Structure 1
Amino acid sequence: MIKLLIYEDNPQLREGLTMLLNGSDGFEVLASFKNCSNVLQELRIYKPDVILMDIDMPGSDGIEGLKQIRLVDNEVKILMLTVFDDNKNVFEAISNGANGYVLKKTPPAKLIEYIQEANSGGAPMTSSIATQVLKMFSSLHSEKGENYNLSEREKQVLHLLVNGYSYKMISAEMFIAIDTVRSHIKKIYEKLHVNSKSEAVAKAFKDRIV
């Protein structure tokens, strides 16, 4: 059972998402809120697996909520669900530890698939967002960056993360145990000075590590 919190200021959409997910096998919406004003308290109370996070909300918005959560929790999966696909919001969300970035017009079946992907360690993005991310990073004219003293094995793991592999997929691809994958990723985070998979991927692109 994937347990979720929803942050969305539009009451109709909030209710629609709740009904969709509660009516789908394997999903439970624990609660939904119109902004992120009490996000840390709500995180402690409900302990969700995945958070669906709108960006443009009155009061404390989704980017601010994302930042607050990542100060205390790097495990919960946060999927930005928004009408915005502009570079600024995409970059801010990824840089601050979002696990995925999906447009609100995403069909329900695809949204469910994205949530499952995020929950299992993937980094789902609507295709138009993924295209923007690639363009955005390719426009950063940095030279080949330092390798941050990553070992060849760590570079291989990072390369697979960049390509959207989950921990389980990396384990199968490299013929190593999941715990070994976690160990490599922990060391990668320490060397890159990041706290999440999306931050590691962003840094890999920006500094052209892989």
Structure 2
Amino acid sequence: MSISIAIVEDEKNYNNALKKVIDYQNDMKVVAQFFDGKDALQNLSDFSPDVVMMDIQLQDMLGIEIIEKLKKDMSETHFIMCTSFEDDEKIFHSLKAGATGYLIKGESMDKILASIRDVYNGGAPMSFSIARRVLQHFERKLPEIKGFDELTQREKEILELLSQGLLYKEIADQKFITLDTVKKHVGNIYRKLQVNNKVEAINKFNHFKN
């Protein structure tokens, strides 16, 4: 079963280049291309892609706004920001909106393809410079722990495995449950901890343990 991908990118040449490379892979296929935010906002949810490659600074709106408006109805879709912007505000606004990955334009196509596979399997891919900024931010600002006591024992076990870097499929195999069950548990973890993605959930968990 191939990974379905939508590309939201107003730079036409880059959009088409991504599509060409992605469609060349045996395990993934581009199901939709959007060249402006309005079109993506109106039609993206109709395709229900597994992964969306989302540009932040579109000509008519911010990609972050699109995620904020669609994430609730596209809870199974993973959004990877692919952008030339590295400032802290856009990084954390993206993560808060529900983005799962953040790549800087200029990354190799191999890195982009690996990130698509990674996020599909439960990872949170980021360019090295972005990951470093995220860690520095959390070192400066410890989040308030909310909802941890509400987690069931199984949810705590899954969160522990997530913090160890295991992917959804690896957790499913270790706990002898289905991939869909893992995803449902993760959704409940996010809701109870009042977070939008794995990075925030693991950060809260680690600070709770410490």
Q: Is the TM-score greater than 0.5?
A: yes
One-letter identity of the residue aligned with 2:203? F
**How much does 1:183 deviate?**
4.9
Secondary structure in 1 matching 2:31: strand
Runs of 4+ in structure 1 deviating by more than 4 angstroms, as ranges, are: none
**How much does 1:125 deviate?**
1.2
Question: Does residue 27 of structure 2 align to residue 26 of structure 1?
Answer: yes
Secondary structure in 1 matching 2:57: coil
**How much does 1:93 deviate?**
1.1
TM-score by length of 2: 0.85
Distance 1:51 1:183 in 2: 20
Instruction: Look up the match of 1:148.
Output: 148
The answer as to whether partners of 1:103 and 1:126 remain within 8 angstroms in 2 is yes
The answer as to whether partners of 1:8 and 1:14 remain within 8 angstroms in 2 is yes
CA RMSD of aligned residues (A): 2.3
Gaps of 5+ in 1: none
Distance 1:180 1:18 in 2: 31
Question: Does residue 4 of structure 2 align to residue 3 of structure 1?
Answer: yes
One-letter identity of the residue aligned with 1:91? F
**How much does 1:114 deviate?**
0.7
Alignment: residue pair count: 205
One-letter identity of the residue aligned with 2:67? L
Distance 2:41 2:73 in 1: 8
Question: Does residue 195 of structure 2 align to residue 201 of structure 1?
Answer: no
Gaps of 5+ in 2: none
The answer as to whether partners of 1:100 and 1:123 remain within 8 angstroms in 2 is yes
Percent of aligned positions that are identical:
33
Instruction: Look up the match of 1:65.
Output: 66
Distance 2:11 2:32 in 1: 15
**How much does 1:180 deviate?**
5.1
Question: Does residue 177 of structure 2 align to residue 177 of structure 1?
Answer: yes
TM-score by length of 1: 0.85
**How much does 1:153 deviate?**
4.1
One-letter identity of the residue aligned with 1:124? P
Question: Does residue 114 of structure 2 align to residue 113 of structure 1?
Answer: yes
